[in-house]
């Protein structure tokens, strides 16, 4: 059975093209059992060949689509295309884990997988083999595929499906796998790595033509930030063993020619001892000549000076921190981040002392914000002075505490959200809450960009960067949107 694992891209994230580890892991699992698998990532394929053209030229029996919330509309469109080409469609990923029924009501969606997919996808393939043996035919109609319970569909944990009468079932959830080391490595070799971008932002010193791989050393995060959407892993955390991570890292460096590596864990340093052990192992195994970065935030409260020193020696180039807000009351009572401004200051100081590049993420317009708290955030960004400050608008994702709060007290959307508008990168406020209106949030957000980036030393630094000139049109457009607020407002309600 030929299986295509696909990510339906949109223009949402236009500055970065990273390999899709969810698809990589599914491919690893399927390949380990001898299935024929290909990965098709619209982010790097669409400019050469659309999904329809691909499927016309090269048909697949099964097309699997992965979607976070802002990409679900693209996934539905891609499923329609796949069905038109006679494939069985399976959708999975964060949004499907949150709202499986919504997608099961779409005729172009045959099956939905909730939660982690490595085992579920294998069980589906076994049931499908039985089903197709009996039917000996492919579905070429636009109507949903109906499945015979005799083939065990009801026993597959984490699966949503339809029986022969069209009734939708949501089987029980699949427990998370305890032992991450038992999961086959993601199939890095299937990605067209030369088409992906380097691990920007902050590309100084990183190769513009990089072979940039990413790695997941742990899954999940036990913190409960009120805006964070973690449907797949919930509040759990599981780390891979150092040996297991190092084996994959060595494969990337020694066999696949990685020239930079990004750790994409939610929180790779939750277990500080393990984080330090990983650094020691990278040094010992001489893997520290390839620069690596933490793509997302490290948790500031699980750090110390020694960790950053070790990271530097182990080849780390850049660290990111989720700082979020400059007001301790907001951090404690609204964002519930489990960290204080003082902890942020310490982590930033240690990282800079270790000569790591620093990146800090800030969020504007959380419910309960006011002009003063946003001003404190700007002041903190100026004080910390990271190499890159990433200011973002609060975006309400279903299933989060913030979503529930906004449903009760905020000016929010109808129930029929336009999911594609939920891009975190948007420079427009998604909602107003109490006394705080969208215009004030947007004014402070743009002010933050101007006050941070339009300082003479910043401008000089940006102009010195090779990357600025190599991607000049992109930076010009971003600057117009972020500094001057020239982007168009798009409503989040339909």
Residues in contact with ligand SF4 by CB under 6 A are: 221, 223-225, 228, 266-267, 297, 299, 322
Q: Which is nearer to ligand B12, 94 or 365 (CB)?
A: 94
397 binds ligand B12 (CB under 6 A): yes
Buried/exposed code over 420-455 (b: 16+ C-beta within 10 A; e: otherwise): bbbbbbbbbbbbbbeebebebbbebbbbbbebbbee
219/200 Cα distance (integer angstroms) = 23
Angstrom distances, CA of residue 315 to CA of 134, 188, 221, 259, 312: 55, 21, 25, 12, 5
Out of 28, 68, 365, 396, the only residue in the binding site for ligand B12 (CB under 6 A) is 68
* CB-based contact 321:344 (threshold 8 Å): yes
Q: Which option in ligand SF4, ligand B12, none does residue 267 bind, with CB closer than 5 to 8 A by kind?
A: ligand SF4
Q: Which option in ligand SF4, ligand B12, none does residue 71 bind, with CB closer than 5 to 8 A by kind?
A: ligand B12
Nearest alpha carbon to residue 264 among 307, 311, 231, 296: 296
195 binds ligand B12 (CB under 6 A): no
Q: Between residue 363 and residue 382, which ones bind ligand B12 under the rule CB under 6 A? A: none
Q: Which option in ligand B12, ligand SF4, none does residue 66 bind, with CB closer than 5 to 8 A by kind?
A: ligand B12
Q: How far is the CB of 142 from ligand B12 (least distance, A)?
A: 19
Region near ligand B12 per CB under 6 A, out of 47-55, 222-230, 304-312, 457-465: 222-230
Q: Which option in ligand SF4, ligand B12, none does residue 374 bind, with CB closer than 5 to 8 A by kind?
A: none
Name the residue number minimizing CB distance to ligand B12.
Answer: 92
Nearest alpha carbon to residue 237 among 215, 273, 270, 264: 270
180/183 Cα distance (integer angstroms) = 6
Q: How far is the CB of 439 from ligand B12 (least distance, A)?
A: 22
Out of 3, 71, 278, 311, the only residue in the binding site for ligand B12 (CB under 6 A) is 71
Out of 69, 218, 440, 492, the only residue in the binding site for ligand B12 (CB under 6 A) is 69
144 binds ligand B12 (CB under 6 A): no
Q: Which is nearer to ligand SF4, 336 or 352 (CB)?
A: 336
Question: In 3-state terms, what secondary structure has residue 83?
Answer: helix
Nearest alpha carbon to residue 315 among 196, 218, 206, 217: 206
Q: Is 279 exposed, middle or buried (0-12, 13-18, 19+ CB in 10 A)?
A: buried
Q: How far is the CB of 162 from ligand SF4 (least distance, A)?
A: 34
Region near ligand B12 per CB under 6 A, out of 18-26, 142-150, 282-290, 313-321: 18-26
Name the phi and psi angles at 353, rounded to 5.
-60, -35
Q: Kindly calculate the radius of gyration of the chain based on its CA atoms and give it in whole angstroms.
A: 23
* Tokens matching residue 13: 């994230």
* Tokens matching residue 232: 């797949």
Out of 28, 92, 297, 322, the only residue in the binding site for ligand B12 (CB under 6 A) is 92
Interaction site with ligand B12 (CB under 6 A)? 7, 9, 12-13, 16, 18, 20-22, 25-26, 43, 64-66, 68-71, 90-95, 98, 113, 116-118, 120-121, 216, 228-232, 264, 266, 296, 397, 423-425
């Amino acid at each position: 059975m030929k299986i295509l694992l696909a990510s339906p891209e949109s223009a949402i994230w236009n500055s970065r093209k990273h390999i899709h580890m969810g698809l990589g892991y599914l491919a690893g699992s399927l390949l380990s059992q001898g299935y024929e698998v290909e990965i098709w990532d619209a982010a790097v394929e669409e400019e050469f060949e659309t999904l329809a053209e691909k499927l016309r030229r090269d048909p697949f029996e099964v097309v699997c689509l992965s979607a976070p919330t802002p990409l679900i509309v693209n996934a539905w469109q891609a499923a329609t295309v796949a069905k038109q080409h006679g494939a069985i469609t399976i959708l999975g990923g964060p949004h499907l884990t949150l709202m499986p029924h919504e997608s099961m009501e779409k005729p172009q969606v045959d099956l939905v997988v909730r939660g982690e997919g490595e085992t579920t996808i294998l069980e589906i393939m076994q049931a499908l083999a039985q089903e197709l043996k009996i039917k000996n035919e492919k579905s070429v109609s636009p109507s949903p595929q109906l499945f015979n319970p005799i083939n065990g569909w009801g026993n597959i944990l984490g699966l949503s499906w339809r029986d022969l009468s069209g009734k939708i079932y949501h089987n029980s959830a699949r427990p998370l796998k305890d032992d991450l080391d038992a999961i086959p490595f993601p199939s890095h070799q299937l990605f067209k790595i030369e088409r992906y971008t380097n691990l920007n932002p902050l590309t100084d010193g990183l190769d513009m033509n990089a072979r940039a791989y990413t790695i997941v050393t742990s899954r999940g995060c036990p913190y409960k930030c009120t805006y964070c959407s973690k449907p797949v892993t919930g509040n759990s955390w599981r780390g891979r063993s150092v040996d297991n991570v190092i084996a994959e890292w060595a494969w990337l460096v020694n066999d696949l020619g990685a020239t930079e590596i990004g750790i994409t864990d939610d929180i790779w340093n939750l277990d500080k001892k393990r984080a330090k052990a990983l650094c020691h192992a990278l040094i010992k195994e001489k893997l520290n000549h390839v620069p690596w970065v933490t793509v997302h935030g490290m948790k500031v409260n699980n750090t110390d000076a020694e960790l950053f020193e070790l990271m530097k020696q182990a080849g780390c180039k850049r660290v990111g921190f989720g700082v979020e807000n400059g007001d301790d009351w907001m951090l404690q009572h609204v964002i519930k981040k489990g960290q204080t401004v003082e902890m942020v200051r310490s982590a930033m100081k240690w990282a800079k002392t270790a000569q790591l590049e620093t990146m800090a993420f800030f969020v504007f317009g959380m419910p309960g914000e006011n002009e003063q708290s946003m001003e404190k955030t700007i002041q903190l960004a100026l004080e910390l002075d990271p190499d890159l400050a990433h200011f973002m608008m609060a975006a309400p994702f279903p299933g989060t505490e913030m979503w529930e709060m906004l449903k009760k007290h905020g000016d929010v959307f109808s129930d029929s959200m336009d999911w594609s508008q939920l891009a975190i990168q948007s420079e427009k406020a998604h909602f107003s809450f109490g006394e705080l209106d969208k215009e004030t949030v947007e004014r402070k957000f743009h002010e933050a960009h101007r006050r941070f980036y339009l300082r003479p030393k910043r401008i000089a630094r940006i102009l010195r960067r090779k990357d600025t000139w190599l991607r000049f049109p992109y930076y010009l457009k971003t600057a117009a949107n972020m500094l001057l607020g020239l982007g168009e407002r798009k409503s989040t309600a339909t």
